[in-house]
Amino acid sequence: MKLTNSQKNAVIKLFNAFEKRFENKFSSFKAPTGSGKTFMISSLISEIFSSEILKERKTICVIATISSSKLPESFANKMEEYKEFHKFDDYTIEHIVSPSNSDFKGEEVKEFNLKNNKVFVFGVSSFGKKTIFFQRNILNNFLTEIKDKNYQLIFIRDEAHIGWNEKGDKEEKSKYEKAEYKKFDEKMKEAADFIIEMTATPKNSLNLIEIKEKDLENDDVFLLKYEKDTLPLFDENITNEILIDKAIEEFKKSKKAYQDKIKNDVINPAMLVQITNDSEINKEKSLLFKEGLELLEKKLTNAGLKYLKYIDNSPIVVNTKAPNTLKYASKPDSEIDVIIFKVGPAIGWDIPRANTLLQLRNVSSETLNTQTIGRIRRNPIRNLEWNSEANKYYLWSNYQIPTRESHNYKLKEKFENIHFFSGYIETKNKREMSDWKNYEKDVNDYIENEFYEIIDNFQNENVVIYSGIVSNSNYKVPYRNMISLKIDNIKRKDDLEKYRLELFEEKLIQISNKLNRNIEIIKYVFYLNHEKLKKIYIENIKWIFEKESYKIKNEITPLKRYSIWNPNSNKNYLSTKEIENYGYIQITSEKESELFQVFDSKPERFFFEKFKNFLKDEKVEDVKFFAKMPTLGSQIYFEYPSSETGDIAKSFMDFAIKIYNKEKKQEKTIMIESKSGKNDYNEQKTKDLLNAYRMYTNNFPDSNLHLILHKYYDEGIHEFLSFKNDKKIELKIEENTTKNFKDFFKQIISQN
Residue 336's alpha-carbon distances to 318, 342, 372, in angstroms, are 9, 17, 19
* 8 A C-beta contact, residue 198 and residue 41: yes
pLDDT of residue 727: 57
pLDDT of residue 346: 54
**3-state class (DSSP) for residue 252:** helix
Provide mean pLDDT across the span 654-673.
85
Does position 659 have pLDDT exceeding 50, yes or no? yes
Q: How confident is the model over 413-436, as pLDDT tens digits?
A: 999 889 999 999 887 656 555 567
Does position 83 have pLDDT exceeding 80, yes or no? yes
pLDDT of residue 228: 66
Q: How confident is the model over 292-303, as pLDDT tens digits?
A: 888 999 999 999
pLDDT of residue 643: 75
* pLDDT > 70 fraction of the chain, expressed in percent and rounded: 76
Q: How confident is the model at residue 709 (pLDDT cuts 50, 70, 90)?
A: confident
Does position 155 have pLDDT exceeding 50, yes or no? yes
Write down the pTM of the prediction.
0.49
Q: How confident is the model at residue 656 (pLDDT cuts 50, 70, 90)?
A: very high
Q: How confident is the model at residue 602 (pLDDT cuts 50, 70, 90)?
A: confident
Q: How confident is the model at residue 678 (pLDDT cuts 50, 70, 90)?
A: low
pLDDT of residue 592: 53
SS (H, E, C) 593-613: HHCEEECCCHHHHHHHHHHHH
pLDDT of residue 169: 38
pLDDT of residue 564: 76
Does position 499 have pLDDT exceeding 80, yes or no? yes
298's CB contacts (< 8 A; 6+ apart) are: none
* 8 A C-beta contact, residue 607 and residue 710: yes
How far is residue 594's CA from residue 598's CA, in Å, rounded to a whole number? 12
297's CB contacts (< 8 A; 6+ apart) are: 307, 309, 318, 340
State whether the Cα torsion 161-165-166-171 is positive or negative. negative
pLDDT of residue 42: 94
How far is residue 65's CA from residue 82's CA, in Å, rounded to a whole number? 18
Q: Which domains does the chain have, with CATH numbers?
A: 5-212 (3.40.50.300), 227-402 (3.40.50), 434-540 (no CATH), 545-750 (no CATH)
Residue 476's alpha-carbon distances to 16, 91, 345, 442, in angstroms, are 14, 22, 44, 29
pLDDT of residue 465: 37
Q: How confident is the model over 258-292, as pLDDT tens digits?
A: 988 887 788 999 998 877 755 445 566 677 778 88
Q: What b/e readout covers 479-499, taking b as 16+ CB neighbours within 10 angstroms?
A: beebebbbebbeebbeebeeb
**3-state class (DSSP) for residue 670:** strand
End-to-end Cα, the chain, rounded Å: 51
* 8 A C-beta contact, residue 647 and residue 636: no
Among residues 47, 45, 27, the alpha carbon closest in space to that of 195 is found at 27
**3-state class (DSSP) for residue 179:** helix
* 8 A C-beta contact, residue 191 and residue 154: no
pLDDT of residue 264: 76
| 474: number of Cβ within 10 Å | 12
Q: How confident is the model at residue 102 (pLDDT cuts 50, 70, 90)?
A: low
pLDDT of residue 262: 85
Does position 173 have pLDDT exceeding 80, yes or no? no
Rg (the chain; Cα; Å): 30
| 243: number of Cβ within 10 Å | 20
* Phi, psi dihedrals of residue 21, rounded to the nearest 5°: -65, -20
161's CB contacts (< 8 A; 6+ apart) are: 199, 200, 201
Provide mean pLDDT across the span 714-724.
69
Among residues 234, 484, 232, 262, the alpha carbon closest in space to that of 355 is found at 262
How far is residue 586's CA from residue 64's CA, in Å, rounded to a whole number? 42
How far is residue 564's CA from residue 600's CA, in Å, rounded to a whole number? 8
Mean pLDDT lowest among 55-64, 141-150, 561-570 = 561-570
529's CB contacts (< 8 A; 6+ apart) are: 451, 454
Cα–Cα–Cα angle for 343, 38, 15, rounded to 5 degrees: 150
Cα–Cα–Cα angle for 726, 731, 736, rounded to 5 degrees: 160
pLDDT of residue 739: 58
How far is residue 312's CA from residue 291's CA, in Å, rounded to a whole number? 19
Alpha helices in 395-529 (DSSP H): 437-446, 452-460, 482-495, 505-515, 519-528
Q: How confident is the model over 342-397, as pLDDT tens digits?
A: 765 556 678 889 998 888 766 655 555 556 677 788 888 877 777 778 888 888 87
Average pLDDT, the chain: 77
Does position 517 have pLDDT exceeding 90, yes or no? no
Provide mean pLDDT across the span 498-506.
86
